[in-house]
Structure 1
Amino acid sequence: MAQTVACTARPPKHEVRAVWLTTIGGIDWPHTYAQSARSIEKQQNELRKILDQLQAAGINTVLLQTRVRGTVIYPSAYEPWDGCLSGHPGKSPGYDALQFAINECHRRGMELHAWIVTMPVGKWDALGCKQLRKKMPRNIIRIKADGYMNPETQQTADYLANICAEVTRAYDVDGIHLDYIRYPEELPKLKTLSRDKGRDNITRIVRTISRRVKGIKPWVKMSCSPIGKYDDTQRYWSRGWNANTKVCQDAELWLRDGLMDELFPMMYFRDNDFFPFALDWKERSHGRIIVPGLGIYFMSPRERNWPLSDITRELEFLRAEGLGHAYFRSKFFTDNTKGIYQYARNEYSQYASLIPPMTWQS
């Protein structure tokens, strides 16, 4: 096991400590299917065990994948059940997994944010995509083997707002967390698109969703996970991969205009691809909450075999700058990849922190 770095930054009173908990294919949860009373209990106990581990390591926010690929993990009037729970797409597992997860998180003093995957709707002939193609035949774009919602139509904005409103109205969620709220980089048109027009299109979707959610429950946090670098900085190049110019995510405007309360930029980088860009997000925060996402999966020998010290340096830096942190993803954290769980539990997050208040909301 790699040697840890002692944490010197003082633990703050307020700090977001989050994980993305993935349900697609059950890669974080669930690892068994719910098809009987006994197997339901087994599946639920799997989640209880994960949440116990997260709680013990100081995690206070769980981003739970709720809309997967045009499919969901709760009984919806709009979309079918994802197959990750029952083993059969479209079939109920016999319980409401979202309600169960909310109850278990709140029991442990943790927030649960419903993670909504927006544009990608799965394989062209998979259940979620097929049903959406029937509902809105001109609004689903095919790129290779997959379907995507058209980022340029009001129909996409209204439909996604309906999904988010359904979750907000029916459940005591603490946040709505939008993923992939951007242009698909494989879209051929992206090369010739006017960036101003593209940003307007994505912002229109964000505004439609945010207004619907806040109109129902103003206290529910709106967040998203933009590309990890906002744009080039004066001194550092984003290597051609950034939120603002490349995929038309004007995330700073979303913060400034109150469309987002919180950002979880996917900062799965290290060294000078991480530190200056984290500072750049802080400078663009407009007083909102910034929670950089850390690519702890890159510590896996199957990935890039990063040493633990790459992540602990980032954690120390974020705390010194008053920023939160989010681990991508849960299983790499609870599996203690390179000792990250042990470091968080015994050193970095030894003492609990409260969620920062939304002072601008009330």
Structure 2
Amino acid sequence: MCQSLVQMFGLLFLLPVLVHSEDSSWPAREFRGAFVATVANMDWPSSRHLTTNQQKNELINLLDKLQKLNFNAIVLQVRPAGDALYNSKLEPWSYYLTGEQGKPPSPSYDPLEFAITEAHKRNIEVHAWFNPYRARSGSTSSVGLAQNNVAHIYPQYVYKYGHDLWMDPGASVIQDHAVKVFLDVVTRYDIDGVHIDDYFYPYPVSGTDFPDSHTYSSYKTSGGNLGLSDWRRNNINTLIQNLSTRIKTIKPYVKFGISPFGIWQPGYPHGIHGFNSFTSLYADSRKWFKEGWLDYLAPQLYWQIDPPAQSYPALLDWWLEQNTHQHHVYTSNYASAVIAKHWSTHELERQVEISRSRDRKSFGNIHFSAKVFVENMHGMSDVFHAKVYTSPALTPEMSWLSCPNPPKPSNVKTHGYNISWTPDTSGHVRSYAIFHFIAEVFGLVTVLPKDSSSFAVTEIGSYVIVSVNRIGIQSTEERFTIGLSTSSVIG
């Protein structure tokens, strides 16, 4: 198990670390994520008719803009509907890549592998986002399904429900297939996290119950004694607990997170009204968090601050109270509401400020969706760059995960304003962080990719460089001083 920051640095790094020396309090550790939706070509790729090079260039542009805005994570939708945005032997290539399900990109490339490589160059984590049970989205209802789509493999357990095709979470073969899909990606790709959104059992279609009566009857016949609603919830609980355990068995450093519907049940907390995800989606999201199955919870608090019926701060505080294992809460924020609901950019700015004000309890935000920032809709990028994400940040430390400790930077040298060091060869470094000691705190100056070996600072003073591993554990530090004529080797 990696050492904690307390062991590494003592009391100093338990204190809030500031990015600026003025009156701001932007944290040096904060999860700053953006959802990158592929369903309906929402965020990327923008069209199913793009060439391979166009897809690559579009993704590079997206990552460049997020890096410039000091984001440090994307939640990339890799399985929107029983399909794959990566090279899979279990499921067909996605319709959203090529316009034909099962047809690979040409010239051939692996979009997920490409995304990971390019994101990591920019110190951006990649959390692979899966829809566990949707077999076809309504946006492709007239499109043919590939022969290896789950609807053809297990037709008795895939139903038309509303405009979609939906897998039956109560069928063991469906559960097993979903787990294989998740673990295949964990095994073969250098992802930083596994992510599920709010779709478990589907959102209800008015007047139509989900058609799983034969699966439930089989359960009862075999001796099961749960009522229908409890049985459905137990099916989802089983999936979440199973994934939590098996992801860590394969790679104990891969993070597991879910962004459920933001209201667990109406009345929690008092005065909250709205859709009941516990009884309608059969999602006992509070249980998943309280049991410690999740490394982070990102409740979709897609409401404004002030309306009391769905109060952003009231719901955030309630979710923070459920965090019995002291894992992480990263609020999901509805950035697209500046278009869809005509919210002001100030609303989103205030929401991040509220999350930050719950110091040491709320650790960041994930914004839906990336397109708002990439296209600077209603000036969102300008606002966030100037007022919200003004400087880089490391992702928060997850000390309960397991990974090798990062070695400290070696052969650190200074010459004038330039710093150099020998790049890591251990494979245990994800990035380097340089801090500047100003006004009695170490302010984060920059975060650099693992292959970096030099950096030029702009001010004289005392500095620290550390290496950081993939779960946020920092190495012991190398301290150095930059002066007008500094030239030295540090350790």
2:257 to 223, 226, 236: 223
The answer as to 2:137 corresponding to 1:103 is: no
* SS of structure 1 residue aligned to 2:84: coil
The answer as to 2:373 corresponding to 1:330 is: no
Name the aligned partner's letter for residue 97 of structure 1.
P
Cα root mean square deviation, aligned: 2.3
1:309 to 333, 346, 349: 346
* SS of structure 2 residue aligned to 1:41: helix
Query: Aligned partners of 2:204 and 2:82: how far apart in 1?
Result: 19
Query: Aligned partners of 1:313 and 1:145: how far apart in 2?
Result: 37
Higher strand share: 2
Query: Aligned partners of 1:341 and 1:194: how far apart in 2?
Result: 46
| Identical positions, percent | 28
1:342 to 371, 382, 385: 382
1:132 to 150, 158, 169: 150
Query: Aligned partners of 1:16 and 1:46: how far apart in 2?
Result: 24
* SS of structure 2 residue aligned to 1:162: helix
Q: Indicate conservation of the 8 Å contact 1:214/1:220, yes or no.
A: yes
* SS of structure 1 residue aligned to 2:230: helix
1:52 to 55, 61, 64: 64
Aligned equivalent of 1:354: 394
Aligned equivalent of 2:180: 162
Query: Aligned partners of 1:169 and 1:132: how far apart in 2?
Result: 21
Aligned equivalent of 1:28: 43
Q: Indicate conservation of the 8 Å contact 1:73/1:85, yes or no.
A: yes
Q: Indicate conservation of the 8 Å contact 2:35/2:76, yes or no.
A: yes
1:223 Cα deviation from its structure 2 partner: 0.9
TM-score normalised per structure 1: 0.90
Instruction: Name the CA shift for 1:86/1:190 in 2 (closer, same or farther; >3 Å).
Output: closer
Write out per-residue CA displacement over residues 34-71 of structure 1, whole angstroms, 9 at most, x where no aligned residue: 77xxx322221111111010011111110001002111
1:10 to 25, 41, 46: 25
The answer as to 2:106 corresponding to 1:113 is: no
Name the aligned partner's letter for residue 328 of structure 1.
F
Residue ranges of structure 2 left out of the alignment (5+ in a row): 1-22, 214-226, 403-491
* SS of structure 2 residue aligned to 1:292: strand
Instruction: Name the CA shift for 1:261/1:119 in 2 (closer, same or farther; >3 Å).
Output: same
* SS of structure 1 residue aligned to 2:233: helix
- Report matched runs for 1:282-321 at 5 Å: 282-286=320-324, 287-300=326-339, 303-321=340-358
Query: Aligned partners of 1:99 and 1:148: how far apart in 2?
Result: 28
1:262 Cα deviation from its structure 2 partner: 0.9
For CA contacts below 8 A with separation 6 or more, give which structure has more relative contact order: 1
Residue ranges of structure 1 left out of the alignment (5+ in a row): 1-7
* SS of structure 2 residue aligned to 1:267: coil
1:237 Cα deviation from its structure 2 partner: 2.2
Q: Indicate conservation of the 8 Å contact 1:119/1:149, yes or no.
A: yes
TM-score normalised per structure 2: 0.67
Larger Rg: 2
Query: Aligned partners of 2:142 and 2:81: how far apart in 1?
Result: 12
